[in-house]
Amino acid sequence: MPELIERISEKCDSSFYVFDVSELKKRIKFLREHLPPYAELCYAVKANPFISKEIENDVERFEICSPGEADICKTIGIDSKKMVISGIYKTPSVIEAMVSDESFKGIFTVESLRQYDLLCGLADKYDKTLEVLPRLTNDSQFGMDEADIEKIISERHNRSRLNIVGIQYFSGTQKTSLKKFRREIEYLSGFLAKLRESCSFEARELEYGTGFPVSYFTGDKLDENALLSGFSEILDELPQKPRIILELGRSIAASCGKYYTHIVDIKQNKGQHYALTDGGMHHIVYYGQYMAMKQPFVSVVGRDNAGADKQWTICGSLCSMNDILVKQISLPDLETGDILCFENAGAYCMTEGISLLLSRDLPAIYLVRENGDLYRIREPFETKQINTPVYEKL
């Protein structure tokens, strides 16, 4: 067994995640090398809040979408100058606390005319200039129509405490089509040109959530080098370039994380080999893998997969027939006590599970720094408290 996993196993007898900072930094370097030099990076904290601090100096910005994420970033000491406060609903009291805080220097996205009014009101109340990025909709509940953005921009001289720095746009995730990227970039370029002509407005920034894909499953066909170089060529063709900030979550975080779970029982039911783990779908969920429709990259720690010929269905510990992590995967003969490793689990996997069903604990989280130092950054977390009634007579 690798020394690191042995060290963790001595302290932790249940499932755990490990985030590897060397891998994370290598990934950011790879992205920078394969994207145009002028493209900056914004990390969407939702993908994995636990690694944000580690990349404080490796990305230009952090996208924060909820009061919880804002608190986490404050607690770990992310510089507010690097924050873009996004989010379809911006809790007024939380936004007011930010605006009233002298030291807060973040940017706000504007997702609706109501949010625009909220920010205008707070800027007036606290006599403060706020930098804002109106968010252009992608035909969803997010952002605003072009006409609403044009209205805000054309009236910008009347609301001079809001400094409109550019546009934000996010259109989806796991995108693999260069045709789609071309369509989007041409659309954005056209919209910026329209703002130039109709409102004499020159955007200084375009913050663009590209939704670059991650290959999670065996059989995925992704030529990432070709995708990124094709994307870069399209971006290069933009006739006039504002500051371009690419807002990425999973593409930055996925590869740095692995999930480990122990085999706790083995059985054969109706000819099918089942291995039961102490984890489950409350710990790990892969994008698009509902009911184990696809196979993530899984191995048995310290064992060779070569020549594995038995087909296993790996299940979690929830009393739910949906709790299947992998179906019919070829693995060596499994025994209780074996540890399974799930790869590419650094983004969303550990937060998108149905954590509260069955009131089981959430896994511990470990982090390995580049110098090999190992940290536990979250103990196993009990959820039973959340599901226990507390009677308060009113």
Which of these, 127, 98, 132, 103, lies nearest to 115 by C-alpha position?
132
Q: How far is the CB of 213 from ligand PLP (least distance, A)?
A: 8
Pick 135 or 283: Cβ nearer ligand PLP = 135
261 binds ligand PLP (CB under 6 A): no
228 to 247, contacts with ligand PLP by CB under 6 A? 247
Min separation Cβ 389 and ligand PLP, Å: 33
Helix axes 92-100, 67-76, angle to 10 degrees: 30
Among 8, 24, 28, 47, binds ligand PLP (CB under 6 A): 47
Q: Is 67 in the site for ligand PLP (CB under 6 A)?
A: no
Instruction: Find the shortest distance in angstroms from Cβ 138 to ligand PLP.
Output: 10
Cβ nearer to ligand PLP, comparing 111 with 278: 111
Under rule CB under 6 A, residue 173 binds ligand PLP:
yes
Binding flag, residue 184, ligand PLP (CB under 6 A):
no
C-beta separation of 379 from 13 below 8 A: no
Q: Which of 8, 85, 248, 318 binds ligand PLP (CB under 6 A)?
A: 248
Residue from 86, 115, 255, 261 in contact with ligand PLP (CB under 6 A): 86
- Draw the binding track, 112-151, toward ligand PLP (x: CB under 6 A; -: no contact): ----------------------------------------
Among 134, 211, 280, 316, binds ligand PLP (CB under 6 A): 211
- Using CB positions, name the residue nearest to ligand PLP: 249
Catalog residues that contact ligand PLP under the rule CB under 6 A: 44, 47, 63, 86, 170, 173, 209, 211, 247-251
